[in-house]
């Protein structure tokens, strides 16, 4: 059966509802009039309408229709944090700071951070978005941004051995099932260096600051900068 999504994109938390093998569900930070919610993964084989004819869409299709649906600018909270990182408890020079951006799309956030001088690795499920990001790297000659194709629900992430990061920056990524989110979070923590920080921005319609914090290790300390629309958290350990 189809799940109905409210404007902004509400996640059906029950992946066993029907035969659809949900793999990834995301809130669209800037939803357009007709498409508010997107999934990625194997397509349904029954007689349901195609995702494009409904309010649902696969991420692959979303990027095929519009390769850069969220524009070129980084999401606002990330721009604010990295305009004055010390004010948010983030220290270290960009050149000495490595960042992992899970679910980085075509790199509007990761590439922006790399242009500031940070050493950034982006992980993204959709091939075309990764290729778009790689093209931007070549065009910009921005060698400190590395986009890698990866499924966040499968761990370990396909990173060079010994990878460790000073920061995790996660923008508008909310995997649909709690086990996947916890697995992804555990892997991010494994990759985060001692004393590192995590920056999260996502939609208040699909999660809450309490739920987000709960899905990470209880040893994490969080500062909550959320607004009614956005969950904005910075955590450290
Ligand atoms: C709302 S978009 C945000 C993209 C980017 N962070 C930004 O703010 O522009 C969510 C992204 O997560 C990616 N994604 C969804 N499920 C994923 C998964 N299981 N593994 C990796 N990336 C995934 C989507 O393809 C999409 O690019």
| Tens-digit pLDDT profile for residues 170-186 | 999 988 789 999 999 99
Predicted confidence at residue 141, as pLDDT, reads: 85
Predicted confidence at residue 128, as pLDDT, reads: 94
- Find out whether 145 and 111 touch, Cβ atoms under 8 Å: yes
Each residue of 24-35: pLDDT tens digit? 334 444 444 333
CA nearest to 224, candidates 196, 204, 206, 205: 204
Ligand 1 pocket member 109 (CB < 6 A):
yes
Predicted confidence at residue 177, as pLDDT, reads: 84
Q: Report pTM.
A: 0.82
CA of 19 to the centre of ligand 1 (A): 23
Predicted confidence at residue 213, as pLDDT, reads: 96
Ligand 1 pocket member 151 (CB < 6 A):
yes
Ligand 1 pocket member 105 (CB < 6 A):
yes
Atom number, ligand 1, closest to the C-alpha of residue 173: 10
Residues 6+ apart with CB under 8 A from 110: 99, 101, 104, 120, 121, 122, 133, 145, 147, 169
176 vs 1, more confident: 176
How many other CB atoms are found less than 10 A from the CB of residue 180?
21
State the Cα–Cα distance between residues 106 and 52, nearest whole angstrom. Answer: 21
- Find out whether 132 and 126 touch, Cβ atoms under 8 Å: no
Predicted confidence at residue 57, as pLDDT, reads: 59
- Kindly report the average pLDDT of the chain as a whole number: 81
């Amino acid at each position: 059966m189809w799940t109905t999504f409210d404007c902004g994109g509400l996640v059906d938390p029950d992946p066993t509802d029907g035969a659809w093998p949900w793999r990834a569900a995301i809130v669209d930070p800037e939803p357009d009039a007709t498409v508010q919610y997107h999934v990625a993964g194997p397509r349904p084989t029954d007689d349901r309408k195609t995702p494009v004819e409904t309010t649902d869409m696969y991420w692959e299709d979303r990027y095929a229709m519009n390769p850069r649906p969220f524009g070129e600018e980084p999401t606002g909270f990330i721009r604010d944090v990295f305009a004055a990182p010390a004010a948010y408890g983030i220290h270290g020079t960009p050149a000495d700071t490595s960042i992992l951006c899970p679910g980085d799309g075509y790199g509007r956030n990761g590439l922006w951070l790399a242009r500031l001088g940070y050493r950034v690795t982006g992980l993204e499920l959709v091939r075309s978005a990764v290729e778009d990001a790689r093209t931007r790297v070549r065009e910009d000659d921005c060698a400190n941004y590395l986009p890698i194709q990866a499924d966040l629900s499968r761990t370990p992430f396909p990173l060079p051995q010994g990878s460790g990061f000073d920061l995790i920056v996660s923008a508008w990524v909310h995997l649909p099932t709690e086990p996947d989110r916890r697995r992804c979070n555990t892997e991010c923590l494994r990759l985060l260096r001692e004393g590192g920080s995590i920056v999260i921005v996502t939609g208040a319609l699909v999660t809450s600051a309490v739920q987000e914090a709960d899905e990470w290790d209880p040893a994490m300390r969080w500062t909550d900068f959320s607004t009614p629309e956005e969950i904005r958290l910075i955590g450290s350990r």
